[in-house]
Amino acid sequence: MLEDALSHRSDGLDIVIGYVETHGRAETTALAARLEAIPSIRVDYQGLTLRDPDIDAILRRRPQIVLIDELAHTDAPGSRHAKRHQDIEEILHAGISVYTTVNIQHIESQNDIVAQITGIRVAETVPDTFFYDADEICLIDIPPEELQIRLRAGKVYVRDMAEQAVQRFFSVENLLALRQIALRFMAQVTDRQMLTRMRARAIPGPWPAGERLLVGIRPGPTADQMVRAAYRLADRFRADWIVISIGTETEQNLTDQERRWLNDAMETARSLGGRIVRYRGGDVPGELIRYARQHNVTMIMLGKPRGLDIFYSPVYRTMVRSKGIDIFLYEPKAAVSIPIHRQLPQFVSPNLIISAILIALVTIVNYFLRNVISSSNLLIIQLVPVVAAALLFRRGTAIITAIASILIFDFAFVAPYYTLTIDDWDYFISFVGYVVIAFIISGLATRLRYLLPQIRRSEAKVEAVAVLSRDLVNVAHRQEIFDTLYRHMKQFGEGAFAVLTPGAGGLFVNVGDPDYPLTQKERTIAQWAFENGRTAGRGTETLPMGIGHYVPMKAFAVTFGVLAFAFRDPEEVLTPENKEILQTMAYLGALALEEVE
C-alpha cells in the first residue's frame, strides 16, 4: 500500500496517511516517513492508549487519496463509529479515495472457515458487501515458506512475537489453506464484477437461472455461522437469499442470550445483503414449505438435525414435504454441546400434563353423575377437555387428549364396564366424531393463535408502508408531508418522535413531541445522519451511545431531513426487520418531498 502510494504521488496525486500501523517494522516505518501523515486521535481506555484515524481532520484536509491501515479494526469505545470500515465509508462519501489493507481471515463470510482451519476465531470482521463496492482489490500473495522467513526476520511482527505467530497461526499448513481461501475469494469478486459489467452493457449471457435460497435459523450460538454459510452458498449459485426465523409456542419467551443470538444472526444477514423474515407459526416445517412455495424458493438450508429425535425433528419433516426443492444441511464448524434434554423427543409436555388433569377431573365428575344423567350427556361432559385442549394447545396434544378421553370413557362408562370393548356401535361413531372434532377445532385454533399475533405485528408494517404511501399521495405542501410522517411515526411504538429539517443553524424540530430529548449530543448525531445520508444513533454502529435512532430522509442524492425515534424500549423495537421499516418510511417521505419541490 505504501509503495503504491509513493508511486502515485510521483504522478502528481495528493496522497496522505490517515492511519498506518508500523508494528515497529523498520522497512514500513521508513516508507511511511516519506508521506505526509495526518495525526491520529489518541483515546485512553482502561490504561491503554488507543489510536484511530481523525476523520474530521481528513475531511478538512481533503486529499485525493488517504491511506488507512487495518480495515477490520474496531474503533475505540465512544468513537463516532463502531468499526473502521464505517470510518472509511464516511470518507468515501465525502469524495475522498481510500487505500486500505485487510487479511483474508477478517472477511465476514470466511470467518467460520478460517476458524475451522486455524482453531482461532477472529472477532473483527468486515461485511463482504464492502468489497463489492471497491474500484480495485489487490491480492498480496507469496509462498508460505517465504512468509515464514519474513516473519522470523521481524518484517511482519517484531521478533519476540514472530516465533509465537509462526507456531500458533502461520504454520505452512494454515498458510496454504488461507492462500487458497484468498484466491477463491478473489475469483468470486472478479466473477461478480464481470457479471455486473456484462449486465450493465447488455452483453449476452449465458446468465444464471433465478435461484432463491431460504435459510431457516433458530436462536442458538451457531445461528450467525449458519447465516455466513448461507451467504457463501447463495454467492456460489448467484441466488437471492432469505433468512427466516419462525417462533413457535415453546419459543415465546426467549432468554436475553437467545434474543441476542437471533438478532446478531439477523444483523449478519443484513450486512451480507440478505433479506430477513421473522414471524410466528405453530408448525415450523409447514410454515417453511408454505413460504417457500409462495416465494418461488428453489433451495432450503437448515441446520443438520442433532440428538436422538432425528426422525421427529422439524428438519426431517421439512425434507419429507419439500418435493421439488433442494435441501442443504449445515454442520457447525465448531463443536456444539447440546444438553441431553434437548436431544430427547418431547413426548411429555406441560400441555399434555394439563390435559391429563382435565380428563381426570371430568372423569371424576362423570363418575358421580353416572346414575343421575344419561350416557349421552356424560359423553358431552367428557368432550370438555377435548375442546379445551383443541382451543388452547397444538393439534398433536388435542388428538392425544381426544383418544385418551375416549378410552377412559369407554372403560368406565360404556358397557361392558371396565373393558375396552364396545357393544353399541353408536358409541363408536361418537368416538370417531371426538377425533374429528379435535382435529378440526385444533387446526382452526392453532391458525388463529399464531395468525393473530402475526397480524398485530404486521399492522406496524402496513401502517408504515401501505397507509403512509396512500396518505402521501394526496399531499400538496411540504409541511403536510412532515405532519403525515410524524403522525405515522407515533403509531409505530411508544416513545418520543420528531421530524428534523435543516435550517440556518443546523437541524431543528419541524414537527414532533415537545419532550423529545434533542440535546446537543443528540443534535450532533442527527446532523451526522443528515450530512452522510446514513442511519445513526441507538441500535446502529455509528454513534450508538445516543438516545435516539436517526434515519435520514434521502432519495437519490438529496437528503431532506431526519426522522428521529427515541423509543421507550429501543432494544425491543429496534429489531433488524423494524429498522428496514423505518428506512422505508424515511424513503417514502423523501420521495414525496421531491415531488413537491
Q: Judge if 334 and 356 occupy the same domain.
A: no
Give the pLDDT confidence score for residue 114 in this predicted structure: 85
Question: 434 and 405 in contact (C-beta within 8 Å)?
Answer: yes
Q: Secondary structure of the chain: what % helix, strand, coil (to 5)? A: 50, 15, 30
Q: Judge if 309 and 229 occupy the same domain.
A: yes
Q: Judge if 363 and 248 occupy the same domain.
A: no
Q: Judge if 299 and 374 occupy the same domain.
A: no
Q: Judge if 53 and 29 occupy the same domain.
A: yes
Whole-number Å distance between alpha carbons of 105 and 113 = 9
The pLDDT tens digits for 511-552 are: 999 999 999 999 999 999 999 888 999 988 888 888 999 999
Sheet (strand 97-100) strand order: 36-37, 15-19, 65-68, 97-100
In a domain, 464, yes or no: no
Identify which has the larger pLDDT, 421 or 95: 95
Q: Considering only 99-103, 270-274, 318-322, 440-444, which range has the smallest mean pLDDT?
A: 440-444
The pLDDT tens digits for 562-582 are: 999 999 888 878 877 788 888
From 325, 342, 359, the end of a domain falls on: 342
CATH number of the domain within which 250 lies: 3.40.50.620
Number of CB atoms found within 10 A of residue 440's CB = 13
Phi-psi category of 218—alpha, beta or left, where left has phi over 0 and alpha has psi -120 to 50?
A: beta
The pLDDT tens digits for 297-316 are: 889 999 887 665 566 678 88
In a domain, 433, yes or no: yes
CATH number of the domain within which 55 lies: 3.40.50.300
In a domain, 179, yes or no: yes
Nearest to 109 by CA among 279, 271, 300: 271
Residue 174 pLDDT class (50, 70, 90 cuts): confident
Interval 169-191 mean pLDDT: 84
Q: Judge if 537 and 565 occupy the same domain.
A: yes
CATH number of the domain within which 514 lies: 3.30.450.40
Question: 105 and 117 in contact (C-beta within 8 Å)?
Answer: no
In a domain, 383, yes or no: yes
Q: Considering only 36-40, 186-190, 365-369, 441-445, which range has the smallest mean pLDDT?
A: 441-445
Identify which has the larger pLDDT, 13 or 166: 13
Q: Judge if 536 and 566 occupy the same domain.
A: yes
Q: Judge if 270 and 356 occupy the same domain.
A: no
Give the pLDDT confidence score for residue 344 in this predicted structure: 47
The per-residue DSSP string of 352-379 comes to HHHHHHHHHHHHHHHHHHTTTS-HHHHH
Q: Judge if 479 and 411 occupy the same domain.
A: no
Whole-number Å distance between alpha carbons of 586 and 579 = 11
Whole-number Å distance between alpha carbons of 158 and 80 = 31
Residue 424 pLDDT class (50, 70, 90 cuts): low
Bridge-based pairing state of the strands 558-567 and 240-247? unpaired
Only one residue has cell 405485528, namely 457
pLDDT greater than 60 at residue 338: no
Question: 403 and 432 in contact (C-beta within 8 Å)?
Answer: no
In a domain, 318, yes or no: yes
pLDDT greater than 50 at residue 320: yes
Residue 54 pLDDT class (50, 70, 90 cuts): very high
90 grid coordinates: 464516511
In a domain, 462, yes or no: no
From 392, 427, 446, the end of a domain falls on: 446
**Amino acid of residue 206:** P
Identify which has the larger pLDDT, 128 or 345: 128
Question: Domain span at residue 354?
Answer: 350-446
Question: 14 and 63 in contact (C-beta within 8 Å)?
Answer: yes
Give the pLDDT confidence score for residue 416 in this predicted structure: 76
Residue 341 pLDDT class (50, 70, 90 cuts): very low
Long-range pairs of 442-448 with CB within 8 A, sequence gap ≥ 24: 442/389, 442/390, 442/391, 442/393, 442/394, 442/395, 442/397, 442/398, 442/399, 443/395, 445/390, 445/391, 445/392, 446/282, 446/283, 446/394, 446/395, 447/282
Whole-number Å distance between alpha carbons of 583 and 554 = 9
Q: Considering only 399-403, 480-484, 564-568, which range has the smallest mean pLDDT?
A: 399-403
Q: Judge if 196 and 334 occupy the same domain.
A: no
Q: Judge if 190 and 86 occupy the same domain.
A: yes
The pLDDT tens digits for 349-389 are: 677 788 888 889 988 988 888 888 887 778 778 778 877 87
Interval 145-155 mean pLDDT: 80
In a domain, 452, yes or no: no
- DSSP-derived secondary structure letter, 109: G
3-state secondary structure of 537: strand
Q: Judge if 355 and 335 occupy the same domain.
A: no
pLDDT greater than 90 at residue 52: yes
Residue 407 pLDDT class (50, 70, 90 cuts): confident
From 282, 317, 342, the end of a domain falls on: 342
Interval 418-422 mean pLDDT: 72
Interval 202-207 mean pLDDT: 53
Q: In sequence order, what are the beta bridge partners of 500? A: 509, 562
Number of domains present in the structure of the chain: 4
The per-residue DSSP string of 59-80 comes to HHH--SEEEE--TTPBPPTTSS
Residue 337 pLDDT class (50, 70, 90 cuts): low
pLDDT greater than 70 at residue 285: yes
- The gap from C-alpha 72 to its chain's centroid, in whole angstroms, comes to 20
In a domain, 84, yes or no: yes
**Helix pair angle (256-271, 223-237), 10° resolution:** 20
Quote the mean pLDDT of the chain: 82
In this prediction the pTM is 0.65
